[in-house]
């Protein structure tokens, strides 16, 4: 087995390059191909001896299906070296190219509205496997990735070390060079891990998947994570805010007739005012075989207005890639459009 390049700092890469008998400056050149140009084929690295890049694992995974949405969204199904499959999404806008990354194969949280947890957790991804998604997406859209959100399959903070190593690579000016402000880690709310994250010195955006304004309803919707009191999660999130003065994002999936009443809006507003946050409302994207339904657009609007009136900073998240099943875990389950024959 050759060493995994993406898991290395440039200093570590320099040592490894020298150990293979090449001069130190070759490491910088190799890093430039991979990180700045998203080139991973050793044969295309024209200023390098071929044997150099061949001495490293750059991509251990491959794209097995691609779906292009009408809104420019690209969703990739990726096969890992052991045959497991994950997915990732690229969402373009004029100023930004956002990558949505998976951190686990499957998920142990079993949230009732989410496709990712329907078949349980199979394994964690390594930091390298998380980062390979950025390269695949960048190659697919031929643009540099400017933003990364850990909102794909899996619970990032349940795969803490690999997630943090990946975030460090993303924000490293010598590697992916993405501004920390443009990296969002979304969690179902693991207070101990959130506190630890607050001490990592990474001024990223923290998003908390709340989805319910009280513990009883939350336990129904998030059977695993809902056992943790909301108050503990928000206290940990506030610690993250204090560490970096970065406002917390609260995510709230609106489910028709379940958590979309004005009573829920008022209770959510009360919670939201206890910490420094923005609330992101996400209209439920239906998944099979769930019986849940999205609320009407009018209900989403009314819910948002109610929060606004109560002094909450609120945004309704624009749905992206609906036609390519871009909500978490959906492509893995749906069997894709353009799968190869293997
Ligand atoms: N495990 C992490 C990150 C993955 S999901 C977390 O829970 O935050 C990213 C966001 O998409 C979460 O807020 C999740 O609850 C939401 N989501 C999952 N399934 C959805 C669906 N079918 N429709 C709309 N949002 C969904």
Alpha-carbon distance 139 to 141, whole Å?
6
Sign of CA dihedral 218, 219, 221, 226: positive
Q: How far is the CA of 325 from the centre of ligand 1 (A)?
A: 13
Question: Which atom, in ligand 1's list, is nearest to the CA of 287?
Answer: 22
Which residue minimizes the CA distance to atom 10 of ligand 1?
A: 151
Q: How far is the CA of 158 from the centre of ligand 1 (A)?
A: 15
Q: How far is the CA of 145 from the centre of ligand 1 (A)?
A: 21
Instruction: Give yes or no for residue 3 having a pLDDT over 60.
Output: yes
Token representation of residue 23 = 């001069």
Token representation of residue 198 = 């607050």
Please report the pLDDT score of residue 294 as a whole number: 96
Cβ(115)–Cβ(328) below 8 Å = yes
Instruction: Give yes or no for residue 50 having a pLDDT over 90.
Output: no
Which of 52-56, 294-298, 305-309 is the least confident region?
A: 52-56
14: CB partners within 8 A, 6+ apart: 24, 27, 28
Please report the pLDDT score of residue 118 as a whole number: 86
Mean pLDDT of 131-143: 97
Alpha-carbon distance 138 to 90, whole Å?
8
Mean pLDDT of 247-263: 98
Alpha-carbon distance 242 to 24, whole Å?
41
Helices (H) and strands (E) in the chain, counts: 11, 12
Closest Cα partner for 230 from 246, 219, 241? 219
Alpha-carbon distance 310 to 241, whole Å?
21
Residues of the chain with pLDDT > 90, as a percent, come to 87
Instruction: Give yes or no for residue 342 having a pLDDT over 50.
Output: no
Which residue minimizes the CA distance to atom 13 of ligand 1?
A: 209
Which residue minimizes the CA distance to atom 5 of ligand 1?
A: 151
Higher-scoring residue by pLDDT: 332, 260: 260
Cβ(263)–Cβ(290) below 8 Å = no
Higher-scoring residue by pLDDT: 218, 289: 218
Cβ(213)–Cβ(271) below 8 Å = yes
Instruction: Give yes or no for residue 325 having a pLDDT over 80.
Output: no
Neighbours of 2 (CB within 10 A): 13
Q: How far is the CA of 337 from the centre of ligand 1 (A)?
A: 23
Considering the segment(s) 5-53 as one domain, its CATH architecture is: Orthogonal Bundle (1.10)
Helix, strand, coil: what percent of the chain each, to 5? 40, 20, 40
Higher-scoring residue by pLDDT: 153, 336: 153
Query: What is the CB < 6 Å shell around ligand 1?
Result: 111, 113-114, 151, 155, 186-188, 209, 251, 253, 282, 284-285, 287, 327-328
The residue extents of the domains of the chain are 5-53, 62-324
Which residue minimizes the CA distance to atom 24 of ligand 1?
A: 284
Averaged pLDDT score across all residues of the chain: 93
Strand partners, 124: 104
Catalytic residue annotation:
87, 328
Instruction: Give yes or no for residue 319 having a pLDDT over 90.
Output: no
CATH homologous superfamily for the domain 62-324: Aldolase class I (3.20.20.70)
Cβ(291)–Cβ(322) below 8 Å = no
Write out pLDDT tens, residues 53-108: 999 999 999 999 999 999 999 999 999 999 999 999 999 999 999 999 999 999 99
Please report the pLDDT score of residue 332 as a whole number: 61
Instruction: Give yes or no for residue 338 having a pLDDT over 50.
Output: no
Q: Do domains 5-53 and 62-324 have the same CATH topology?
A: no
């Amino acid at each position: 087995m050759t060493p995994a390049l993406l898991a290395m700092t440039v200093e570590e890469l320099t040592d490894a390059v020298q150990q293979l008998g090449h001069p130190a400056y070759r490491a910088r050149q190799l890093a430039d191909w991979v990180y700045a140009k998203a080139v991973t084929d050793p044969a295309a690295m024209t200023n390098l001896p071929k044997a150099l890049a061949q001495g490293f694992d750059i991509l251990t995974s491959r794209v097995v299906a691609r779906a292009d949405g009408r809104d420019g969204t690209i969703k990739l199904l990726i096969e890992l070296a052991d045959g497991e499959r994950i997915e990732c999404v690229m969402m373009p806008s004029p100023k930004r190219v956002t990558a949505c990354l998976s951190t686990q194969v499957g998920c142990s949280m079993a949230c009732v509205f989410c496709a990712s947890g329907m078949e349980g957790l199979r394994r964690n991804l390594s930091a390298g496997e998380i980062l390979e998604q950025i390269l695949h997406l960048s190659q697919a859209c031929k643009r540099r990735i400017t933003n990364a959100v850990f909102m794909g399959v899996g619970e990032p903070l349940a795969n803490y070390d690999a997630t943090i190593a990946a975030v460090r690579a993303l924000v490293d000016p010598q590697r992916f060079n993405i501004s920390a402000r443009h990296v969002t880690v979304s969690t179902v709310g693991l207070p101990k891990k959130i506190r630890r994250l607050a001490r990592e010195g990474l001024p990223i955006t923290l998003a908390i998947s709340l989805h319910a304004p009280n513990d009883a309803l939350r336990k129904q919707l998030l059977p695993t994570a809902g056992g943790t009191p909301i108050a503990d999660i928000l206290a940990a999130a506030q610690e993250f805010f204090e560490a970096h003065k970065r406002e917390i994002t609260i995510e709230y999936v609106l489910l028709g007739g379940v958590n979309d009443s004005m009573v829920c809006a008022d209770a959510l507003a009360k919670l939201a005012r206890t910490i420094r946050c923005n609330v992101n409302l996400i209209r439920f994207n239906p998944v099979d075989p769930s019986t849940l339904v999205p609320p009407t657009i009018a209900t989403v609007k009314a819910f948002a207005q109610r929060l606004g009136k109560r002094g909450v900073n609120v945004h309704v998240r624009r749905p992206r890639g609906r036609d390519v099943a871009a909500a978490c875990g959906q492509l893995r389950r749906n069997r894709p459009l353009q799968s190869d024959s293997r």
